[in-house]
A and B are shown apart, each in its own frame.
Chain A
Amino acid sequence: MILRYTFLRLLMLIPVSFSISVVIFMIVYLLPGDPIDNLLRVGSSPEDRAELVAQYGLDRNLVVQYFVWIGNMFQGEFGQAIVLRRPVADLVAQNLPYSLTLGGLAFLFSSTVGMTLGTISAVVRHPVLDRFMRGFILLGSTVPGFWLALLLILFFSVNLGWFPVSGAGGWTSLVLPVLTIGFGGVALVARVTRVALLDAQREDFVTLLHAKGLSSGTILFRHLMPHALLPVVTILALRIGWILGGAVTVEFVFGRPGLGSLLIRALGQRDYPVVQACLLMLALAVMLGTLIGDVAQASMDPRIREKKS
């Protein structure tokens, strides 16, 4: 049953990824500026220019260019970076691990800390704690990421000297970026967990469990948690895209290598193939995140499986 649902969901990804790839392919043709101009030496003739255009395949029909491009993509052949003059695949392979490490740690951090905080605040329900949580959640969802990053650098790196200011050497350089991206995530996950648990507590079956004489701990971990996990998993899966978005700013502020900083640099240099590859990787990650979220949701809630398949 769940396999069938996963398969159908995967089929639905085909038109979506096709439209995304067309958009990504087209966007690059809308960008102003021409990387060929950057490559031409001063005083080169129109013939030199035509030769370069032909060399990069920019003179062919757009539809042909698209199919050549997407065919190459499937073979992991991302082409040659025009400005950096290196295979795009190399650039992506070089930067991807940094983004994955950062994103993965930020994801782990926000899910574990967020769920713990959310559970504590739902169970304890002390007015002072409540107020603290509300404030924390508000700050986490409103403070701009790059400003938080700068404040953390100012306090921990400059004043206390605990962590390096920028770069990507060793685990100490990961602490502040992970905290920055994770902060908003922690607040969001904590809020969703808290609301889900409080909602679940009001259900009739919980009253029954209490009446049966089960301890509050058993009810919480055996019965309430599975019930409350559903919205949390959904929000976490959707969060993957937002973590990647956050990574773009944070990589920039901390001067870390990664897909985000590669994309920003390539956008500035109008390096078409690099921009396309970065966007495609990010889009793929966002789609995978949504897919995982949907499948996880369906495996936990039979109602969704039946409605959608």
Chain B
Amino acid sequence: MKVSSMTARTLDTFARMSIGRAFASGIGMVAGGFLILLVLVAIFAPWIAPFDYAAQNLMNANAPPGWPHLLGTDEFGRDVLSRVIFGARTSLSVSATAIAISMAAGMTLGAAAGYFGGVFERAVMTVVDLTWSFPDILIALIFVAIIGPGLTSTTFAIAIAYLAQFTRLTRAQIVRLKRETFIEATINLGAKPSHILLRHLMPNAIAPVIVVGMLAIGDGIVLEATLGFFGLGAQPPTPSWGAMMSSGTAQLFLSPWVIIFPGVAVAVTVIAVNLFGDELIRALDIRDRLRGA
């Protein structure tokens, strides 16, 4: 059987088993529903936003929330609601892409380290432990400083900041699974390493990694917002929740709504991600396996 179809089947089973159960609880349904809605809003932003996010109107700058600008306008008279809606696009896509990259790289490294062991494992884990002890914002700041500000470097900075987490987690799963009888049996039956790794180890190791990945998207959104706030993320006029707050600081006393609403968007999204992630952990019953790493 091909690897791709196997992975697809694993993911499919995983999704059917857990997502449905996570939605079954009240909190899971509210949080999950909100996230689905948010993704839809991000996709259909141009049709939903009441105004053009870049349209300036200096005659109407710093207008308080009201009609027709429901959440007010910023220093250039741009509609805050429209910018928050388009900002969802930037924040979600940057964070999700970054975490996907981080997860893929971390799973590969962690699985290889856990399976092959030896010098390779020690080398990988030394580097990983080194970055693990550093705060994610410092790692991201250094990386952005090296390759310069922008959305691409923000994406890679977030990916690198969380790489250690996925590597450690995957390795811990693989090391634990390797001791199980069914793996020993497969090895004794003469299976190839690639077969054992892809067919038996990864499918059993993947659930905690996916859940942590889901939770990490929340952390990634906060990190993206922080980098944007330092002026290192999205460059004007691209709206991102962090960048909006960055330009809003100068107007903090004059028009606080420019800062308040993007922040509310970040906070509510991250809270929803966390609540849904918690429900997933409960539905999959993997709390103990997350502690090992």
Chain B residues whose C-beta falls within 8 Å of the C-beta of A144 in the assembled complex: 222, 225-226, 229, 263, 266-267
Chain B residues whose C-beta falls within 8 Å of the C-beta of A252 in the assembled complex: 230
- List which B199-248 residues lie within 8 A (CB) of chain A: 218, 222, 225-226, 229-230, 245
Tell me the dominant secondary structure on chain A's binding face: helix
Min CB–CB distance A142 → chain B (angstroms)? 4
- List which B31-72 residues lie within 8 A (CB) of chain A: none
Tell me the dominant secondary structure on chain B's binding face: helix
CA distance A10 to B146 in the complex (A): 32
CA distance A238 to B129 in the complex (A): 13
- List which B132-151 residues lie within 8 A (CB) of chain A: 133-138, 141-142, 145-148
Q: A138-B275, A245-B138, A290-B133 are in contact. Are A146 and B229 (CB under 8 A)?
A: yes
Number of interface residues of B (CB under 8 A): 34
Chain A residues whose C-beta falls within 8 Å of the C-beta of B253 in the assembled complex: 158
In the complex the two chains form, is B271's CB within 8 Å of A147's CB?
A: no
In the complex the two chains form, is B136's CB within 8 Å of A150's CB?
A: no
B152 CB–A CB distance under 8 Å: no
Chain B residues whose C-beta falls within 8 Å of the C-beta of A158 in the assembled complex: 252-253
Mask: chain A, 226-250; 1 = CB below 8 Å from B; 0 = not? 0000000000001001101110110
- List which A160-218 residues lie within 8 A (CB) of chain B: none
A3 CB–B CB distance under 8 Å: no
In the complex the two chains form, is A27's CB within 8 Å of B134's CB?
A: no
Name the CB-closest residue of A to B126.
A19
A76 CB–B CB distance under 8 Å: no
Q: Which of A139, A141, A150, A267 contacts B245 (CB 8 A)?
A: A150
Min CB–CB distance A103 → chain B (angstroms)? 12
A11 CB–B CB distance under 8 Å: no
Mask: chain B, 262-275; 1 = CB below 8 Å from A; 0 = not? 01001100110011
Chain B residues whose C-beta falls within 8 Å of the C-beta of A286 in the assembled complex: 133-135
B25 CB–A CB distance under 8 Å: no
A16 CB–B CB distance under 8 Å: yes
B30 CB–A CB distance under 8 Å: no
Given A32-B148, A144-B222, A287-B133, 20 extra CB contacts under 8 A = A16-B130, A138-B271, A142-B222, A142-B271, A143-B267, A144-B229, A144-B266, A147-B259, A150-B245, A150-B249, A150-B252, A150-B259, A151-B263, A153-B252, A154-B260, A158-B253, A241-B134, A249-B226, A275-B145, A290-B133
Closest 9 CB pairs of A and B: A245-B135, A147-B263, A142-B270, A267-B145, A245-B137, A144-B222, A30-B146, A286-B133, A143-B267
A residues touching B (Cβ–Cβ < 8 Å)? 16, 19-20, 23, 27, 30-32, 138-139, 141-147, 150-151, 153-154, 158, 238, 241-242, 244-246, 248-249, 252-253, 263-264, 267, 275, 279, 282-283, 286-287, 290
